[in-house]
Structure 1
Amino acid sequence: MTTFFAFIVAILILVSLHEFGHYIVARWCGVKVVRFSVGFGKPFYTKKRGDTEWCLAPVPLGGYVKMVDTREGNVAEEDLPYAFDKQHPAKRIAIVAAGPLTNLALAVLLYGLSFSFGVTEIRPYVGTVTPSSIAAKAGFEAGDRIQSVNGTAVRDWGDAQTEIVLNLEAGKVNVAVQTESGSEAVRVIDAAGTPEAGKVAKNQANIGLLPFKITTRLGSVLEGSPAAKAGLQAGDRLVGADGEPLDDWTQWTQLFRSSPGKKIEIAYERDGTMLSTGLRPDTQELADGTLIGRAGVAPAMDEEWAKQVRHEYRPTVGEAFAMGWDRMTGYAMMTVRFFGKLITGNASLSHVSGPLTIADAAGQTAAMGLQSYLEFLALVSISLGVLNLLPIPVLDGGHLVYYTAEWIRGKPLSERVQAIGLRFGLAAMMLLMMVAFFNDINRLFG
């Protein structure tokens, strides 16, 4: 229910404000607005104010603004000066652009509000490299500080991860780092076309980098788990298994996963005393039939390293909104570059997400708290704004192209040209929607 309501609230806020942007600029430009509807379908609530009928409809997946337009039917003589299609192209451009620009402005507002509560910045340091991962094969080492990806400077861990993932399938990814010793190096990721890169694109795996260092000390032990039954407690430091020393958490993870139902003799340290116990991981079957072991433990982080990597501060209100502007412009440009990579074949369609993934993210961020949910809304608002500005007929960006061409030519494009563009736009959007739904189902249920 949290996921459902968080998703519905997100859609109603983002789409309704998008349409309100169209509405308010239309009124400023002297266009008569007949209806403003929140939701689709037959309205169950209507209220007339002035010339506009305000409606609530039962399908809360969007909304629309209906203006007087001679292309959509007969218009009364007295309303002709207020018809949308009778306005100067500059006015129509302003009305159409107002929706997506409202989404971008909303993102700045949401980020500014979120950052006003405080900012936790994760610096782009590599704390842990998963053995045999994409990152390990590229030579990443704990202590590396990522400076740029393919020449694009990165500010924090999120920037570094995003740049690497989006460039992963376009060819070699050159990651400039400063090593722990202070020397400069370039880690080259060459994973394009590999199954590992495909899993990363589908959000089924990661590249094998974590900003925090993980210790062999237990951070938590699940109640009733094999580890709890074996007497292990949070704070214990795992030392070895079956007489062999294991000093890396990934080795313990691999051991537990590869030992379903098998008894393991564990050596561990508690309060300076060496102890031992027998642990038999539970057996869990994955979707593909593979059996893995689960011990029910999670590691503790290296707190000294975490203090170096994590930077927490509370900006002033002005600084928070300036940061919101920077974050909005950065993500907007990244989204534009992503669509460019899609067109040129340098990015995977697996990165495209649809409503199911958005709903899942809405539920997760809402459960994490208001700040996380605000930043989720901001990110989706940017995506909605940029998507609608793409020069594809049926989207706002396509109409902007038509009206700009009309302004330059002094007359509209022919109906034939507009009809061809409309068919192309509908086909492109239908294909994108099908890909998005397929990816959603694959991510969530595959």
Structure 2
Amino acid sequence: MSLGQILPAIFGTDSLLVGTIIPFLFVLTVVVFVHEMGHYLVGRWCGIGVKAFSIGFGPELIGFNDRHGTRWKLSAIPLGGYVKFVGDMNATSTPDPAETAKLTAEERKVAFHTQALWKRAATVFAGPLFNFLLTIAVFAVMFSVYGRFVSEPMVAEVRADSPAAVAGFQPGDRFVSVNGEKVETFSDVQQLVSGRAGDKLTFVIQRDGKDLTLTATPEAMEQTDPLGNKIKIGVIGVVNDEQLGQPHVVHYGPAGAVAEAVRETGNIILRTGQFFKRFVVGREDKCQLGGPVKIADMAGKAAKLGFEWLVQLVAMLSVGIGFLNLLPIPPLDGGHLLFYGIEAVIRRPLSERAMEAFYRIGMLVVLGFMGFVFWNDLFGC
């Protein structure tokens, strides 16, 4: 193979390096950096000393020390990151008496475990919070620049023998609410229905100037999303069209874009929680969950569609990482917040032995989940 053939194979836009690995590292690095920066900034604001800020795990590749003594570094395994606070000596963030004895008086003042409960909780919560803020920021910019394409919540066609047909929907019906939630666009209806396959839903529709209440159970249908992923969503079998839907672009000012971004991020968080609740009881397709391999594939496909698609993937991954980190499972941020909640109630920290036991159980759960998504990536789906 000639040099002219080798270079495009390595550095061409369709190569593994440029087409998949670099977009994947961009997406993951941005999300991890923002998450860890949340911990860092709030921790520093609370007066907690920071020993290290790392993007990636394992051996350090490059790094430097700032004037506060924090080591900023890029590490060899780019699948996460961490902030190491002064006195943060183990995974449960509990003080080790032997190690604590080695701290100087100045270090004890800024050590993580010596801080007030609210400062520790705020520092831990800041990581997921910054992930949500990143998603809001991305959506706000997208809405400001591109606006939002919407359609009126009208029924133009009812598919034969569909749940909607059985429920009595008719062309010309206008959706008012779904399960008590008011809808303003056809997209609102789709969002409320898509994650509820098999659930009996109540629809209020307007027909001939009167409100009617209908019930329908969405059925699962496989579709392909813009990134080529096969996804299963709930549908009731109604179609919107240009005549009744009157599709148009809604433009937003800065305040309106932020408000809409907050609403959209909140909806994603709610749908994510709904998905995991259904997943735990076996009502969701296991192939909807993927790990690094699937994310890398999506990043490559998003990069081919354009930078704005890659940024949207950053936003979606960021809110997902934020949500997962808030689950009350050690060693996730939510597990630490659970410990702090218990400490607030009983007015003292849990014993180190109890926290170690919970940590081991939580670690098994986290490792099991990671193994599951890796299996899905490589063999399961």
Which of 115, 118, 143 is residue 115 of structure 1 equivalent to? 143
Which of 68, 83, 86 is residue 114 of structure 2 equivalent to? 86
1:7-29 superposed Cα distances (whole Å, 9 cap, x missing partner): 22111111111001111111122
2:74 aligned partner: 56
Which of 187, 192, 197 is residue 163 of structure 1 equivalent to? 192
Contact 2:164 2:238 in 1 (8 A): no
Contact 1:167 1:347 in 2 (8 A): no
1:33 shift after superposition: 1.1
What is the CA–CA distance in structure 2 between the aligned matches of 1:90 and 1:205, rounded to whole Å?
41
SS of residue paired to 1:116: helix
* Residues 360 and 128 of structure 1: CA distance in aligned 2, closer, same or farther (over 3 Å): farther
Instruction: Give the total of aligned pairs.
Output: 347
**What letter is aligned with 2:243?**
W
SS of residue paired to 2:64: strand
Q: Does residue 420 in structure 1 map to residue 357 in structure 2?
A: yes
Contact 1:115 1:320 in 2 (8 A): yes
Which of 205, 214, 223 is residue 186 of structure 1 equivalent to? 214
Which of 306, 329, 337 is residue 266 of structure 2 equivalent to? 329
Contact 2:168 2:214 in 1 (8 A): no
* Residues 187 and 403 of structure 1: CA distance in aligned 2, closer, same or farther (over 3 Å): closer
1:305 aligned partner: 243
Report which of the two has the higher share of helix: 2
Once the two structures are superposed, the pairs formed by residues 136-285 of structure 1 within 5 Å of their partners are 142-169=171-198, 171-178=199-206, 184=212, 186-189=214-217, 191=219, 197=220, 203=231, 207=235, 209=237, 211-213=239-241
1:239 aligned partner: none
Range moving further from structure 2, 428-437 or 85-94: 428-437
Contact 2:163 2:216 in 1 (8 A): no
1:57 shift after superposition: 1.8
**What letter is aligned with 1:167?**
R
What is the CA–CA distance in structure 2 between the aligned matches of 1:360 and 1:318, rounded to whole Å?
35
Contact 1:122 1:211 in 2 (8 A): no
What is the CA–CA distance in structure 1 between the aligned matches of 2:329 and 2:293, rounded to whole Å?
24
* Residues 329 and 439 of structure 1: CA distance in aligned 2, closer, same or farther (over 3 Å): same
What is the CA–CA distance in structure 1 between the aligned matches of 2:144 and 2:378, rounded to whole Å?
36
1:187 shift after superposition: 4.9
1:409 shift after superposition: 2.3
Contact 2:164 2:216 in 1 (8 A): no
1:411-430 superposed Cα distances (whole Å, 9 cap, x missing partner): 21022321231122123223
1:8 aligned partner: 25
Which of 37, 41, 46 is residue 24 of structure 1 equivalent to? 41
The TM-score with structure 2 as length reference comes to 0.78
* Residues 331 and 88 of structure 1: CA distance in aligned 2, closer, same or farther (over 3 Å): same
Contact 2:163 2:217 in 1 (8 A): yes
1:318 shift after superposition: 1.6
1:248 aligned partner: none
What is the CA–CA distance in structure 2 between the aligned matches of 1:124 and 1:412, rounded to whole Å?
52
Measured on the aligned residues, the alpha-carbon RMSD in Å equals 3.3
Q: Does residue 98 in structure 1 map to residue 36 in structure 2?
A: no
2:343 aligned partner: 406
Contact 1:212 1:309 in 2 (8 A): no
1:381 shift after superposition: 1.6
Q: Does residue 392 in structure 1 map to residue 308 in structure 2?
A: no
1:59 shift after superposition: 2.5
**What letter is aligned with 1:389?**
L
Q: Does residue 76 in structure 1 map to residue 91 in structure 2?
A: no
1:83-104 superposed Cα distances (whole Å, 9 cap, x missing partner): 2122222211111011011111
1:81 shift after superposition: 2.0
* Residues 206 and 397 of structure 1: CA distance in aligned 2, closer, same or farther (over 3 Å): closer
SS of residue paired to 1:58: strand
Q: Whose Rg is larger? A: 1
Q: Does residue 436 in structure 1 map to residue 354 in structure 2?
A: no
What is the CA–CA distance in structure 1 between the aligned matches of 2:274 and 2:281, rounded to whole Å?
11
**What letter is aligned with 1:20?**
M
Q: Unaligned regions of 5+ residues in structure 2, if any?
A: 1-17, 91-95, 225-229
What is the CA–CA distance in structure 2 between the aligned matches of 1:371 and 1:146, rounded to whole Å?
32
**What letter is aligned with 1:403?**
Y
1:343 shift after superposition: 4.8
What is the CA–CA distance in structure 1 between the aligned matches of 2:348 and 2:271, rounded to whole Å?
35
Contact 1:393 1:422 in 2 (8 A): yes
What is the CA–CA distance in structure 1 between the aligned matches of 2:371 and 2:160, rounded to whole Å?
36
1:82 shift after superposition: 1.8
1:288 aligned partner: none
Range moving further from structure 2, 55-64 or 105-114: 55-64
1:355 shift after superposition: 3.3
Contact 2:36 2:81 in 1 (8 A): yes
SS of residue paired to 2:367: helix
1:374 shift after superposition: 3.3
Q: Does residue 316 in structure 1 map to residue 289 in structure 2?
A: no
1:31 shift after superposition: 1.8
1:373 shift after superposition: 3.6
Contact 2:193 2:234 in 1 (8 A): no
The TM-score with structure 1 as length reference comes to 0.68
Contact 1:349 1:435 in 2 (8 A): no
1:317 shift after superposition: 1.3
